Structures are given as C-alpha cells and as structure tokens.
C-alpha cells in the first residue's frame, strides 16, 4: 500500500526514529494486516521506503492514541504536550474525520 509522508516524517521513518505511523481507520487503511507492506513516498523528494507492518492498534480518538504512544516514536518532539500533538494532528485530519473513522496506528 502506498502512503505519502511529509519530508520531515519520511526522514524520521528512514532513520528508524519514528516507529509508529498514524492514519485514519478509513476503508483503505482498514485493509492493512500484520505482514502487509507499506511503501512510504516522500512528498517532497518522491523517494520511497518500504516497511512491513508488525503491529496494528486501533483507537477511537487521537487523545487516546497519544496517551499510549507519544514523542519521537510518533514523529513529534520528545517534549511535545498531549495538546500540541492533538492540535498538530488536527492540522492534517479533522475532528469530524476522527469521529467518523477512528484512528489506526501501524508499527513497522
């Protein structure tokens, strides 16, 4: 499955710092299973990186997710607050999307 990533997040995945990818649990992502292959595409450079899904977690909200996973492993700064991480995520996904689909977390 192909997924785009912002350049800074792509670099963190490539470096092995970011080990958790957060997406909506929409129809496309709900097809992911343990062992599935994800190809991340850097939206700036168009470079690609393939990973295999090791674990899948589902949450109803980003708040619940960030109470379990936080900081560098999700691509945030180590000292980001829960509020900062949620607000940063709402710049990508709306609260309406969160409520409709829920949250999917894949670990590679």
Render pLDDT for 14-52 as a digit per residue (tens, 0 to 9): 999 999 999 999 999 999 999 999 999 999 999 999 999
Using a pLDDT cut of 70, give the percent of the chain over it: 100
pLDDT at 71 over 90: no
pTM (2 d.p.)? 0.88
Q: Which of 65, 66, 9, 1 is nearest to 35 (CA)?
A: 1
SS3 content of the chain, % helix, strand, coil (to 5): 35, 30, 35
Contact status, residue 53 vs residue 33, Cβ threshold 8 Å: yes
Q: Which domains does the chain have, with CATH numbers?
A: 2-107 (2.30.130.30)
Q: Which helix (H) or strand (E) holds 24?
A: strand 20-24
Contact status, residue 26 vs residue 46, Cβ threshold 8 Å: no
């Amino acid at each position: 499955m192909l997924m785009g990533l912002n350049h800074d997040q792509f670099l963190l995945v490539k470096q092995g710092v970011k080990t958790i990818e957060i997406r909506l649990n929409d129809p496309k992502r709900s097809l992911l299973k343990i062992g599935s292959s994800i190809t991340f595409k850097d939206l700036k450079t168009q470079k690609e990186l393939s990973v295999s899904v090791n674990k899948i977690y589902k949450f109803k909200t980003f708040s619940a997710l960030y109470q379990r996973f936080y900081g560098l492993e999700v691509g945030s700064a180590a000292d980001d607050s829960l509020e900062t991480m949620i607000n940063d995520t709402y710049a990508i996904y709306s609260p309406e999307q969160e409520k409709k689909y829920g949250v999917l977390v894949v670990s590679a």
